[in-house]
Structure 1
């Protein structure tokens, strides 16, 4: 069905990450590729001044280790990629650079300001140039 799938996984929701990785595997064409992606948000400069210089590198290493462990636990073959920046923008950029034909991401339980789907999911749905599957949290 799909040749290249970006699976955006928030490290705060690793159990949901397993679900969407398995869903991606079920939608993947033979010979296709899955990219498991985590995005580390930028820290505002006024906060970054007070933090250790190597904090971003440490956060990226920790994210890569945790995402690789998740991929191994699901037994889904996937490439792990870590990016930093605004999450929606980084997810869309990853999809474009990989020429993905599907993005899968989970949506958190929304508040009033983003009632139907989460803020990141909402932005990805509105701006992605490929299909987007939003896995809703079962309440």
Structure 2
């Protein structure tokens, strides 16, 4: 069905990421590609002053390691990618740069401001140039 699927995974919710990763594999065409993506948020300057200088780099390494473990655990072939910045922007940029035809994203329990699907998923749905599947 789809040739290139972006599957963003929040490392703190790796179980949801695994669930979506397995679903993505079922929707992938023969010869297609899944890109497992983790986006590490930048730390505001006023907070970064109090933290060691390599916090973002450490988080990016942890994200890459955890996604590689997920690939090994499931046996599903995928490309692992880690970016930093605002999550929605990173997901949209990855979809654009890879020419994705689907983004599969998890939605958490939203707060009042993002009642229906959650802040990141909401932004991705509104701004993506490809299809988006939101999983609950």
Q: TM-score range by the shorter chain?
A: over 0.9
Stretches of structure 1 that go unaligned for 5 or more consecutive residues are none
How many Å separate the matches in 1 of 2:25 and 2:40?
A: 24
Match of 1:101 in 2: 101
The answer to whether 1:36 aligns with 2:36 is yes
SS class of match (1:22) = helix
Q: TM-score, normalised by structure 2?
A: 0.97
Match of 2:18 in 1: 18
**More moved, 38-47 vs 68-77:** 68-77
RMSD: 0.8
Cα distance per residue 1:27-82 (max 9 Å; x no partner): 00000000000000010011112211122211111111111111211111101100
Question: What stretches of structure 1 move > 4 A for 4+ residues in a row?
Answer: none
Cα distance per residue 1:71-96 (max 9 Å; x no partner): 21111110110000000010000000
The answer to whether 1:115 aligns with 2:90 is no
Q: TM-score, normalised by structure 1?
A: 0.95
How many Å separate the matches in 2 of 1:48 and 1:110?
A: 27
Cα distance per residue 1:104-129 (max 9 Å; x no partner): 01000112211110110000000000
